Structure 1
Amino acid sequence: MRSSSRLCVAFVLALLLLVGVIFAPASQAQTRNLVVFGDSVVADPPVGEYLARKVERGSSNSTDGRFCPTSQSNFGVRAAAKLGLQAADYSCSGATATGTRSFFGGGQTIGVQVDRALADGALTPATARVVVSNGFNDTYSNAGLPGEEVRARFVASMAPQIGRIRAAAPNARIQVVGYATIADGGYVCLFNAGGDLRDRTYAPQVGQWEQLAQDMQRDLAAAAGVEFLDLKPSTADRGMCAPDHLRNWAGIVDVNASPQNLPFHMNARGHEHVAEVVARS
């Protein structure tokens, strides 16, 4: 009898354990996601929301995510949807790698973005893809330094962050996503009024910063052992000075091309193109 009772108790306990596993709260399951880190090019917040948060933040050094509004249709979010993954977007306008002050000011470093993602539990073994897209703000904000030093500082700041990401999300494909084409050689087109009505302003420094950012990102990918996704080939004829039906990068004033959030940033067509490139890579 005692043996039978013990067997009965053991059976009930095993059954309860099995039921507990089967009906464990869904919150315990890790979500397959795509995590985004970067600057305003990927964040692309609506300009009104960006300005409102900037005023609210003032001179505060808060790292609260509410001061980093993002678009719900930027290329990171769109790529996640195309891949059937949940998006976790930690990008922030003005972000830098080295902590220098960007044009947008007050942007979080990529290190702070990674801190936020880790605190939220967004980087896990179930994370399928990580997109990192930044660097331009580290070019002009370090304009007094030689290009080689800027490149070295960028890699020195960013490679440890890639290491932190890899440690938390060991199964993820980590991609450093380059910038789409911006300038047309030494020229930019700041005012696109539709059709052929546009300026063509000589600003060689923009193209130089664009190339420097490309070199920095390529260096980082090589140093960290991750993928570099080069957008230049597929956007060579789609920069600021491209015709309305091709233009992916908006000027300060830009009509007839595609809806946009921020001036001097990618428009909706550009985000869709990059999302498609990421999803198909």
Structure 2
Amino acid sequence: MTLPRLRRAAVALAAMATAFCVVPHAEAQEQNAVIFGDSVIADPNAPQWLAGKLGLDPRGSSGVTTWCPQSPTNWGKQAAAKLGLIPQDYSCTGTTTISQGPQLATQVDRAIRDGALNGSTRRVIISTGFNDTYNNDARPDSDVRRDFVNYMKNEVAKIRGAAPGARIQFVGYPTITSGDRVCLFHIAPNTSDWTIFPRVQKWENQAQWMQVDAAQATGTEFLDLKPSTANNGMCATDDQRMWAGLVDFYAGAGNLPIHVNQRGHEHVANVIASS
């Protein structure tokens, strides 16, 4: 073999070695989890949310088309870390589907445009629907469930098209109510009101079945959080509560009233990671 040919062969072998040694490592580093949903999963604190709305954040004004404030320890990010995946979080306070408001579809479109949804995406987490219950309270439940399913069919198709290897999970909401009661005010240890508010129970159940329907219709997974949080809703004892009240001095760390607290986010992340 002549010297030029030897040189060309050496270059080719070096290129092959680089490909075999580097590409798999880079691929592993790029595996990610993409997160969609509303404030329950986004979990911003009030100052972060307000700064984003007023344009006082260094990133500028927040909005579903640009960026949204989120907790660094919400259940999507925690679950991704437990799974060894890079979290790319598009969840946003106020997110809706079949109602007026920041659209889940915009989150999905932005994730596709950013390249966050891709061949290396291993998990997609979707937590949404509650804001569409009370916003459609005057409509028949069956119509709301049907419209939500049709909306989500389109979004799941877009997700699958961009991330064909991803597991897509509709992650339900943890338990909120205790029957037809809510506990809004926790102003002394293990002491609260027990306010009759059947509408919240109705919305909670409706959101659950909307997500179940959507998962069945799209061939994706529904992760049911009700069994493991049955005794951890807004009326649970201080050391067990995962859903904070409106005024709640005893549920432990958390960001927003009437939302999941830190204990709840840790729990849901563990459920997702072990699923």
Q: What is the TM-score of this pair, normalised by structure 1?
A: 0.89
Are the structure 2 counterparts of residues 63 and 211 from structure 1 closer, same or farther at C-alpha, using a change threshold of 3 Å?
Answer: closer
Equivalent residues in 2 for 1:260-271 (5 A)? 260-271=254-265
Deviation at 1:15, TM superposition (A): 4.1
- Quote the Cα distance in structure 1 between the aligned partners of 2:90 and 2:62: 17
Give the equivalent residue in structure 2 for 1:45.
Answer: 44
Deviation at 1:5, TM superposition (A): 5.5
Decide whether the 8 Å contact of 1:100 with 1:142 is kept in 2: no
Give the equivalent residue in structure 2 for 1:77.
Answer: 77
Give the equivalent residue in structure 2 for 1:14.
Answer: 12
Equivalent residues in 2 for 1:1-281 (5 A)? 4=2, 7-8=5-6, 10-15=8-13, 17-18=15-16, 21=19, 31-56=30-55, 63-66=64-67, 68-101=68-101, 108-281=102-275
Decide whether the 8 Å contact of 1:126 with 1:171 is kept in 2: yes
- Quote the Cα distance in structure 2 between the aligned partners of 1:201 and 1:167: 46
One-letter amino acid of the structure 1 residue matched with residue 75 of structure 2: F
Unaligned runs of 5+ in 2: none
Deviation at 1:4, TM superposition (A): 2.6
Decide whether the 8 Å contact of 1:194 with 1:244 is kept in 2: no
Deviation at 1:268, TM superposition (A): 0.3
One-letter amino acid of the structure 2 residue matched with residue 35 of structure 1: V
Give the match's secondary structure for 1:116: helix
- Quote the Cα distance in structure 2 between the aligned partners of 1:70 and 1:61: 11
Decide whether the 8 Å contact of 2:62 with 2:69 is kept in 1: no
Which range moves more in the overlay, 13-22 or 123-132?
13-22
Deviation at 1:65, TM superposition (A): 3.0
1:23-58 CA-to-partner distances (Å, cap 9, x unmatched) read: 67x87876111111000000000111112212339x
1:188-225 CA-to-partner distances (Å, cap 9, x unmatched) read: 11111132321111111000000000010000000000
Decide whether the 8 Å contact of 2:78 with 2:266 is kept in 1: yes
Are the structure 2 counterparts of residues 172 and 279 from structure 1 closer, same or farther at C-alpha, using a change threshold of 3 Å?
Answer: same
Deviation at 1:10, TM superposition (A): 3.5
Over the matched positions of the two proteins, sequence identity in percent amounts to: 49
Deviation at 1:99, TM superposition (A): 4.1
One-letter amino acid of the structure 2 residue matched with residue 125 of structure 1: G
Aligned length: 270
Decide whether the 8 Å contact of 2:130 with 2:207 is kept in 1: yes
- Quote the Cα distance in structure 1 between the aligned partners of 2:138 and 2:73: 36
One-letter amino acid of the structure 2 residue matched with residue 214 of structure 1: Q
- Quote the Cα distance in structure 2 between the aligned partners of 1:117 and 1:37: 9
- Quote the Cα distance in structure 1 between the aligned partners of 2:201 and 2:165: 36
Deviation at 1:64, TM superposition (A): 3.8
One-letter amino acid of the structure 2 residue matched with residue 14 of structure 1: A
